[in-house]
Structure 1
Amino acid sequence: MGILKLRKNKKFSYTPRTYDDKGEGNPFEIKHKFDEFRKTVGPNKGIKGKFNDAFDDLKSNPDNEANKRILIIVAVLVLVFLFIIDFDLSIFLPK
């Protein structure tokens, strides 16, 4: 170990466990497994393009049961919140 001599780093021939032997793709790329099926993932767009893609994705989604379930849960939570703060719901009813 010389005072002015820098130490060299060790080199290893490392291949990741999940690396495909065929050499397809980058083994270090982190990619979500559903990215290829979504329209909203991809190059950066303006806010209008993002909203249009999100609405198209929502419309083309065949699983509308989950959307209805989420809306029902949100409505129930809003009603519980209004009940807790003693909000008068009679203003929404006709006289």
Structure 2
Amino acid sequence: MGILKARKNKKFSYTPRFFDDKGEGNPFEIKHKFDEYRTTVGPNKGFKTKLNNALNELKHNRDREANRRILIIVGVLLLVFFFIIDFDLSIFFSK
């Protein structure tokens, strides 16, 4: 029974069910699929650094079609927002 001895923990040889035996990476690490391609993901940085990284990523993106699509979507959403708040666009035009 050993009053003075500390009890030893049991050891199990557990390997996850879908973990490859090659030993690549940690099977318990949760990581997004595209993290290695993004510059904005990483250690917690300031807002200015995150914004600069996002703008650099947008500038150096090779997919111009996606950039154009994003700008069109943002423009349509802005027009819908202006319509909802009943914004008068005549202030931009001179008489």
Q: Using structure 1 for the length normalisation, give the TM-score.
A: 0.69
What are the ranges of 5 or more consecutive residues in structure 2 without an aligned counterpart? 1-9
Shift of 1:35: 1.0
Which residue number in structure 1 is paired with residue 22 of structure 2?
22
**RMSD, aligned CA:** 2.4
Shift of 1:26: 0.9
Q: Deviations over 1:2-59 (max 9, x none)?
A: xxxxxxxx87543212212122211111111211111111222223322222121111
Distance 1:15 1:67 in 2: 44
Residues 80 and 12 of structure 1: CA distance in aligned 2, closer, same or farther (over 3 Å) = same
Distance 1:69 1:30 in 2: 31
Which residue number in structure 1 is paired with residue 36 of structure 2?
36
What are the ranges of 5 or more consecutive residues in structure 1 without an aligned counterpart? 1-9
State whether structure 2 residue 72 is matched by structure 1 residue 72: yes
Which residue number in structure 2 is paired with residue 57 of structure 1?
57
Residues 48 and 20 of structure 1: CA distance in aligned 2, closer, same or farther (over 3 Å) = same
Q: Deviations over 1:46-85 (max 9, x none)?
A: 2332222212111111112222222222222332343344
Q: Using structure 2 for the length normalisation, give the TM-score.
A: 0.69
Give the SS at the match of 1:42.
Answer: coil
